[in-house]
Structure 1
Amino acid sequence: MFDDVLPRSVDEAARERHTDGWTGDVYGMLEVLAELRPDLVVVPVDTRPTGLLVVTALDPTSTVLADRFDEVVGRFRRPDPQPVPPRLLDRLTVLPPERLLESDLLEVLAGARAGDGDLRDRVRATVARTMGPAFAAAEA
């Protein structure tokens, strides 16, 4: 889980804090994970005030992010003002928290921990049912 991934403004997403409400540039993890870890199932959730990012289907043996850390910092760390994607600011492509709680995603994850089936496929299917197939394909 990542907190503060849905800034409400460009000022709130600044690397250098200069506002009362501040998330920093955590939102960038969406882009990093989408590009470098497409195997993960990533679900941004519109919790107030500044969102959560649920990341599932982890592979504990993967070293992709650690191996490419310097590249990630070089490519994805940007100077202020941060280029926050409009789709995050308008929150049209994020899951309302009620839909997450009403879905069976948490049950799927709990069952998978106990060795119940193929986690990645079950999580993707659950996300597709909850948000729609386009979201599961685009964000996963």
Structure 2
Amino acid sequence: MILTAAKLNRFLLFKLPSAFLCGVRVKQIVFDQCIVSVKHRWINQNPFNSMYFAVQAMAAELTTGALVMFHIQKSNRNIAMLVANNKSSFTKKATGRITFECQNKNQIERAIQNTIATGEGQTFWLKSIGTNEKGERVSEMDFEWTIKLKS
């Protein structure tokens, strides 16, 4: 199965329904890019009339996790993945449509190659940047992923 935006959105519906109900949607996934967007609405707002931070975190994590899944699938190996840590910063109220894009993409393939070659688990950080419709940065989130070969 090749990962596509439509397949990932279907995955959200059945495996992560809270993200789906909040409006998180994959717009594009290719070898080195995953774009996810979510629109500020009543269901995903905080008391300050902007998008709740956890909704932003779901969208941001999805940009990084989908790329990790994409590269694991491409490797044809049985590899487990898990978020170990995350950190975030918020610089502007998130209103309107917020688009997240993963940065640091080349680290994924290197980590997968290292875990296959050595049999040892690997960790790496991926960054996702959230911007509003004006192109202004609203949040920046970093996720530390761990991967290891399944036995």
Tell me, yes or no, whether TM beats 0.5.
Answer: no
Which one has the bigger helix percentage? 1
